Amino acid sequence: MTTKGITQLSGLRDKFKKRQWALALALVFLFALTFLIPRYGLLNEYVQLIIIYIGINIIMAVSLNMVNGYMGDFSLGHAGFMLIGAYVSSILTVWVFPRNWNPILTSAILFPIAVTAGGLAAALASLIVAFPSFKTRGDYLALVTLAFNMICVSVVQNIEAIGAGRGFMGMKKLTTMPWVFIWALIAIWVIRSFVYSNFGRGTVSIREDETAAELVGVNTRHVKVLTFVISSFFAGIGGALFAHILQFITPNTFQLQKNVDFLVMVYLGGMGSIGGSILGAVTYTVILELLREALTILGTFPIFASIPSLEVWRWVLAPLLLILLMIYRNQGIMGLREFGFLVPFRDRFGARFWLKRRELTNANSSN
Amino acid sequence: MAAIAATPSKLRGTMSFFFQQLLNALQVGSIYALVSIGYTMVYGVLTMINFAHGDVFMVSSYIAFFFSTFLLKIASQFASFLAFPITVFATIILTSFLAIIIERLAYKPLRSAPRVSAVITALSVGILLETLTLALIGPEPRQIPPLILKVGYNFQGASFSFFQILILGVSFLCMLILDFIVYRTKVGMAMRAISFDKTVVPLMGVPIDRIITVTFALGAAVAAVGGVIFGSVYSLDPYMGIRIGWWAFIAAVLGGIGNIRGAMIGGLFLGGIEVFVTAYAASSYRDFIAFAILLLFLIFKPTGILGKPQIKKV
Amino acid sequence: MKYKYLLLGVFLSACLVVSACAAPSGGTPTATTGTASPTPTAQAGVIKVGLNAELTGSIPKVGKSCKQGAELAVKEVNDAGGLEVAGQKYKIQVYVEDNEDKGDVAASVTQKLITQYGVVGVIGPNASRNAIPASEIAESAQVPLIGPWPSNPKFTIDSTTGQPKKWVFRLFYLDSDQGPANAKFVKEEFNASKVAILYAIDSDYNKGMAEFFSKAFEELGGKVVAYESYSTADKNFTSQLTKIKTANPDVVFLPNYYNEVALQLQQAHQLGINAVFMTTDASFSSELLTLGGKDVEGLYLYSTFITDAASANPVAKKFIDSYRAAYGEDPDDVASLTYDSFGLLFQAIQSAGKIDRQAVRDALATPHTYSGVTGETIFKGTGDPIKNIYWVQVKDGQFRLYLPKNYKP
Amino acid sequence: MPILQIKGLTHFFGGLRAVFDFNLDLELGELIGIIGPNGAGKTTIFNLITGVYRPTKGNIIFDGVNLVGKESNWIIAHGVVRTFQNIRLFKELSVLDNVRTACYSQIKCSVVDALLHSARFHQEEERILNEAMELLSLFNLERLADEKSKNLPYGLQRRLEIVRALANHPKLLLLDEPAAGMNPSEISGLMELIQWVKEKFNLTIILIEHQMRLVMGICQRIKVLDFGETIAEGSPIEIQQNPRVIEAYLGEEEHGD
């Protein structure tokens, strides 16, 4: 019985360890791909561009999910943080940093600094939203975030120095597949660590019942600030990467429409699930692109050629998808479930493990 | 900056200038007021932000466009001065229908669902309306043909047309009628009762579904009037609903969301902001100021100018 | 918990590796584009050309005309059996992409045309606000890009170095040339001393024109009495126009797109502003007439193409006729400029003698003159040509050629 | 010296008087009951103690500290915990996580620790896990640790709420109608449970209850509220004989229960 128990115990651990190793290897392999692909042009540049977009969208969706999914608040300001990240990082790379460094150093040292700065700026700005969130919740907070987004946009529109509404450019194409991969990985890692810590549990308890959370000793204010700051930090990162792939940003790019895209990703994938957000981001981006293709092909047929703006039908999809989701499956693909490999050992097997161990010790003491 | 420097301040100080701007403000403000009522009523009854409302307004404007162009084609069959009232009437009916359909298809299934779902759905319905209009009618800007000849008057150097006066008249009439409905009729009582207490009133035999339907219909109807006006003074395009919608919504919040008189006041107030910010500063600060006001209100006085506070229950 | 440290290790090593691979893929994008993007081969005797147009968004008419102009140009060549390059006939295949009148979309669509379809050259976008970001992509991907309509100087200037771009060409005169010409016209024709300007502050074209015009006009001794701005997609200009009215100018200059100009004129008349109204070729579109109705009557503008002027030119005559036949409307400047852009590209391919981006680019960059439906276009080795300008006035619902008092051809 | 001293506690909702001049001296290890008809202000008192509302007037001294104006989570973390009239578990969370969440204030590690998975973080999490599991096993809930709390039967949910409250190492426990919706046999179980918890964790308990049997059964002292005012105070027997109470409260209670 005892030995059996021990083997079971160690078995549990080993199985988990093995999985983690497999995951690590998979990541290394993927990472190798991310710079083999551009190096040897295994995929054409447009597909590469889409992959990079997907990476950025993953960062945005996962970080938005922290607020909308885990904390159960409704943020409509994520694009605002993205904008801040985009502009701050771009200003750094274009004006502040030396422009004629050798490209390797620029990409290896200056770019990450710029991106991080963008993230930090966004994180700082998020306090404007975090503090109101102490008092207001639900629809009203949604409005606060939205107002924040709109204000970000119109502020940029009024700063002549950075091109106002006409946009800002001159960034080098520094966002590369490996960088996006790394940042996405960092985002997922950090957010996962946060969610599966006592702060994360605090966040979720706010979603479940804020008053009760406060009344079992969770410092909801602290948790809220942390959640908003981390979430918008990665939104800023996403923005920075976005700016350095497009090499051109305008405030209007970061309007409500962009928020809606991220919302679709989050709710399509499923709230309160990192895996869900990743899934959502990938699915949504791919669907839209496939549709672009499909419509272009359709357009070649005489029947459809007559339709003035076939392209537009693509934009009908996103909202329609959301509505149907909300009505028929507002849990999204994953619901509140999570991919096993994203859940730390303690949170996945902790209880079972504890029980087994007690069993064993009892057994020992009995003989 | 050039904008401010360019016009000598003494000119902008003059009475006629101010009066003219006031007239402009009233015209824009009345449209905001008309649209914002829809937001505020729905919120009052459902505590749900009907983000799609701005786009319902847009669609109403298109309805008016097609209807009026059709009328003018067959204008010979009837006295053309009827064109305007008929258009308004038809637009009101059709738009109300649209609103009811939206409510039935998209919102009703979510009555019991978490609030967030409702908000997202509303947002999506709005965007759906935009994209559908874009796909079906196309993005070219249109304008409702002049149904009433635009006789111009001049008062103390401020010029305005008969049509403008009519606009103001019509919109204020609408507000009065609505105010009457909400504060004097049985349906209105029920509405305010529901917005006062969601749990008890249905038990007291108030047909909640019908009240909700009526609310959406009324809100849309008023917005439709705004749509006709907007479409004939300015021009229509699939995206026009966004900005108007937001501003009207801000108006609703300022007035204390759920409070109809507040919405009217808020609307006119925002009209003032739009015009006078442009007049005495630069147009590009407009949105910033409007949303800054919204933010401040949400943070410091979320119940708006005429709203009432609630107690947190444990 | 060892796997965790392994992951961290992955990050660190990753950062190093990135710096290694960053050079080709990040620092200088050319290396990758060179390898990744299908170099335009003329398989099956086809030449691929990309069209990047504002099919949806705020100036759809521009996109429509652009597309029609393109279709016509390509149809004519293909009906004639194709384009003859180095003694071999090639069919032309156009890939049309909608840039939604958004800068970022314009950029990614250009990227798509280049790498997905491997076009030899890209025509468009038309509005400067879309053309500029698109040109950045074309420049870094080293693909010839011809803008039929963009007139903002930044379009052909490399924003990082300030040098002229190598791969970007336009078929239009610069704002910086239009401004003075226009100011001179206003000054002399209406001997105006006071002008008022109303422009969209968030659009490169409008803002550029406003600035160049006011600068030129003040140099001519005139005075800008009102300098008002609004944001694209605004519909209510009464507040600004009221300010303009109080400033009481001789001429009101509206360097904006047709859909806005129509409204601005209506509201200006509504407010009883009686001045000469002047706009630019950005409103040279039949939509202006349909939308503006009586209110645009008497409006002055200018263009590089106007049917009753072009009719003199046999090439243009033929074009106008076939365009009318095909689409039942008069070609506007966008249509004709797009048509010429294709002509220009075809000519360049022919003189290059092979379907090769570099060769085509070189052909375009060598000083030459292209004579098409919009008259003579003189290239001096850069992307910015010299073109002729016609003054136009709206008379009884039509665009009519307007001959200035001191008109010298 | 009493562990909890409430002096002249008064609270108004706008014009409505919820609690008026409420006084209480609670000795360490006491179990006192507060009864009174609905709307008498019982729960309001709990809300005032735990900082949900800020009292209009009066002081709440706990362990020599005035709780008035303190954040709820601070008060909880310092040993005043409560359960709720209507169960307020985190429904979507597992039983274990409900308890771990309540350990928030117990965990001594910063965000940085959490994000970097530092050794400190792991040892803290391990500690909390074991603590939570032990606590659960004391209440025979350990085998349900991975269940979503919403799937628990009603009685167990009540029990879990008490466990969750205990996770903060409280000195003072506020029970808000723990017996609500329980059948007689469950109630007797609950009575034993409360007694046992009190001894086991040497707690001081304030109990709000409608179930006379429960209150009379276990409380040493009872306060009776009516319209926010204290109308009687004393041992169960005294209360049962007090005429004002009978007329204000027990009268209705007879056909009420």
Task: Report the residue from A166, A176, A309 with minimal CB separation from C56.
Answer: A309
Q: What is the pLDDT of residue A3?
A: 63
In the predicted model, is pLDDT for residue C32 greater than 50? Answer: no
The CA–CA distances, whole Å, from A345 to A15, A17, A350, D141 equal 11, 9, 7, 21
Q: What is the pLDDT of residue C34?
A: 35
Chain C residues in contact with chain D using a Cβ-Cβ cutoff of 8 Å: 1, 4
**Domain range summary for chain A, segments of one domain joined by +:** 43-254
CATH 3.40.50.300 fits D4-79+169-256, yes or no: yes
Q: Which two tokens stand for residue C100?
A: 């939604």
- A277-321 per-position pLDDT tens digit: 999 999 998 988 788 777 777 766 766 655 555 667 777 877 888
Contacts of D47 in chain B (CB under 8 A): 314
Q: Which of C4, D159, D169, D75 is nearest to A196 (CA)?
A: C4
- Looking at residue C240, its amino acid is Q
Stretch A44-71: mean pLDDT, rounded?
Answer: 91
In the predicted model, is pLDDT for residue C44 greater than 70? Answer: no
CA D200 to chain centre: 16
Contacts of C1 in chain D (CB under 8 A): 117, 122
In the predicted model, is pLDDT for residue C9 greater than 80? Answer: no
Stretch C29-51: mean pLDDT, rounded?
Answer: 57
Contact flag B291-A147 (C-beta cutoff 8 Å): yes
| Beta strand extents in chain A (DSSP E only) | 168-169, 248-249
Measured CA to CA, the distance from residue A141 to residue A138 in angstroms comes to 5
Measured CA to CA, the distance from residue A309 to residue C54 in angstroms comes to 11
Measured CA to CA, the distance from residue B256 to residue A170 in angstroms comes to 45
Contact flag D52-B311 (C-beta cutoff 8 Å): no
Position C201 confidence tier, pLDDT thresholds 50, 70, 90: confident
For C43-172+312-388, give the CATH class.
alpha beta
Q: What is the pLDDT of residue A2?
A: 55
- C99-157 per-position pLDDT tens digit: 888 777 888 889 889 988 889 999 989 988 889 889 988 998 899 999 998 888 888 98
Contact flag A136-B47 (C-beta cutoff 8 Å): no
C-alpha dihedral, A163 to A167 to A172 to A173, nearest 10° = 170
What residues 226-255 of chain B have any CB closer than 8 A to a CB of chain C?
A: 230, 234-235, 237, 239-240, 243
Measured CA to CA, the distance from residue C111 to residue A305 in angstroms comes to 24
Backbone phi, then psi, for B14, in 5-degree steps?
Answer: -65, 155
CB D6 within 8 A of CB D60: yes
Bigger pLDDT: B42 vs A5: B42
The answer to whether A319 faces chain B, any CB pair under 8 Å, is yes
Q: Which two tokens stand for residue B85?
A: 């009232």
CB C163 within 8 A of CB C190: no
CB C155 within 8 A of CB C162: no
Burial C324-357 (b: 16+ CB within 10 A, else e): eeebeebbbbbbbbbbbbbbbbbbbbeebeebbb
Q: Which of A251, B277, A79 is nearest to C202 (CA)?
A: A251
Compute the nearest-CA separation of D148 from chain B (Å): 19
- Looking at residue D168, its amino acid is N
The answer to whether B207 faces chain C, any CB pair under 8 Å, is no
Stretch D152-164: mean pLDDT, rounded?
Answer: 92
Neighbours of chain B (3+ CB pairs under 8 A): A, C, D
Contacts of C287 in chain B (CB under 8 A): 140-141
H or E element at residue C281: none
Q: Which of A158, A169, A145 is nearest to A91 (CA)?
A: A169
Position A163 confidence tier, pLDDT thresholds 50, 70, 90: confident
Kindly state whether residue B217 falls inside one of the protein's structural domains: yes
Long-range contacts of B208-216, Cβ-Cβ distance < 8 Å, separation of 24 or more = B209/B108, B211/B45, B211/B187, B212/B45, B212/B46, B212/B103, B213/B100, B213/B103, B214/B187, B215/B41, B215/B42, B215/B44, B215/B45, B215/B46, B215/B191, B216/B42, B216/B50, B216/B96, B216/B99, B216/B100, B216/B102, B216/B103
Name the residue with tokens 């049985």.
Answer: B186
The answer to whether C60 faces chain B, any CB pair under 8 Å, is yes
Q: In chain C, whose CA is at the least distance from the CA of A299?
A: C96
Q: Which of B20, B34, B18 is nearest to B266 (CA)?
A: B34
Stretch A38-44: mean pLDDT, rounded?
Answer: 81
Measured CA to CA, the distance from residue D177 to residue D211 in angstroms comes to 8
Q: Is B197 exposed, middle or buried (0-12, 13-18, 19+ CB in 10 A)?
A: exposed
H or E element at residue A11: helix A2-40
CB B58 within 8 A of CB B236: yes
CB A352 within 8 A of CB D146: yes
CB B206 within 8 A of CB B190: yes
Contact flag C3-A104 (C-beta cutoff 8 Å): no
**Domain range summary for chain D, segments of one domain joined by +:** 4-79+169-256
CA D23 to chain centre: 18
Neighbours of chain C (3+ CB pairs under 8 A): A, B, D
The answer to whether D117 faces chain C, any CB pair under 8 Å, is yes
Compute the nearest-CA separation of B110 from chain A (Å): 6
Listed ranges A33-47, C102-116, C200-214, C240-254; the one with the highest mean pLDDT: C240-254
**CATH fold for the domain made of C176-303:** Rossmann fold (3.40.50)
Backbone phi, then psi, for B192, in 5-degree steps?
Answer: -65, -35
Contact flag D137-A358 (C-beta cutoff 8 Å): yes
Q: What is the pLDDT of residue D203?
A: 93
The answer to whether B298 faces chain A, any CB pair under 8 Å, is yes
Stretch A38-61: mean pLDDT, rounded?
Answer: 88
Q: What angle do CA D174, D178, D181 make, to 5 degrees?
A: 160
The conformational region for residue D4 under phi > 0 = left, psi -120 to 50 = alpha, else beta, is: beta
CB A9 within 8 A of CB A353: yes
What residues 177-196 of chain C have any CB closer than 8 A to a CB of chain B?
A: none
Contacts of D167 in chain A (CB under 8 A): 216
- Number of other CB atoms surrounding residue A28 within 10 Å: 16
CB A81 within 8 A of CB A236: yes
pTM of the complete model: 0.87
Q: Which of C249, C352, C246, C252 is nearest to C299 (CA)?
A: C252
Q: What is the pLDDT of residue C2?
A: 46
Residue B163: give the domain boundaries.
24-238
Measured CA to CA, the distance from residue A83 to residue A85 in angstroms comes to 5
The answer to whether C232 faces chain B, any CB pair under 8 Å, is no
Q: Which of C149, C122, C138 is nearest to C61 (CA)?
A: C149
Contacts of C160 in chain A (CB under 8 A): 99, 170, 172
Kindly state whether residue B258 falls inside one of the protein's structural domains: no
Q: What is the pLDDT of residue D73?
A: 93
- D15-37 per-position pLDDT tens digit: 788 899 999 999 999 999 999 88
Q: What is the pLDDT of residue C40?
A: 53
The answer to whether D164 faces chain A, any CB pair under 8 Å, is yes
* Stretch(es) of chain C classified as CATH 3.40.50.2300: 43-172+312-388, 176-303
Contacts of C36 in chain A (CB under 8 A): 38, 41, 43-45, 48
Where helices occur in chain B by DSSP H, the ranges are: 2-6, 9-13, 15-46, 53-73, 83-102, 115-137, 162-184, 186-196, 200-203, 208-233, 240-254, 260-280, 285-300
What percent of chain A has a predicted confidence (pLDDT) above 70? 95
Measured CA to CA, the distance from residue D119 to residue D127 in angstroms comes to 12
Measured CA to CA, the distance from residue A36 to residue A30 in angstroms comes to 10
Task: Report the residue from C18, C22, C207 with minimal CB separation from A166.
Answer: C207
Compute the nearest-CA separation of A340 from chain D (Å): 15
Position A234 confidence tier, pLDDT thresholds 50, 70, 90: very high
In the predicted model, is pLDDT for residue C74 greater than 90? Answer: yes
Contact flag D43-B312 (C-beta cutoff 8 Å): no
| DSSP code string of A238-292 | HHHHHHHHHSEE-GGGGSHHHHHHHHHHHHHH-TT-HHHHHHHHHHHHHHHHHHH
- B133-189 per-position pLDDT tens digit: 988 887 778 888 877 766 677 776 677 778 788 888 888 898 889 888 888 888 888
DSSP, collapsed to helix, strand or coil, labels residue A98 as coil
| DSSP code string of B66-126 | HHHHHHHHTGGGS-GGGHHHHHHHHHHHHHHHHHHHHIIIIIGGGSSS-HHHHHHHHHHHH
What residues 96-125 of chain B have any CB closer than 8 A to a CB of chain A?
A: 106, 109-110, 113-121, 123-125
Q: What is the pLDDT of residue B307?
A: 63
Contact flag B139-C228 (C-beta cutoff 8 Å): no
- Looking at residue C213, its amino acid is F
Stretch C371-398: mean pLDDT, rounded?
Answer: 88
| DSSP code string of C196-230 | EEEEETT-HHHHHHHHHHHHHHHHTT-EEEEEEEE
Backbone phi, then psi, for A166, in 5-degree steps?
Answer: -85, -5
Task: Report the residue from A219, A346, A351 with minimal CB separation from D104.
Answer: A219
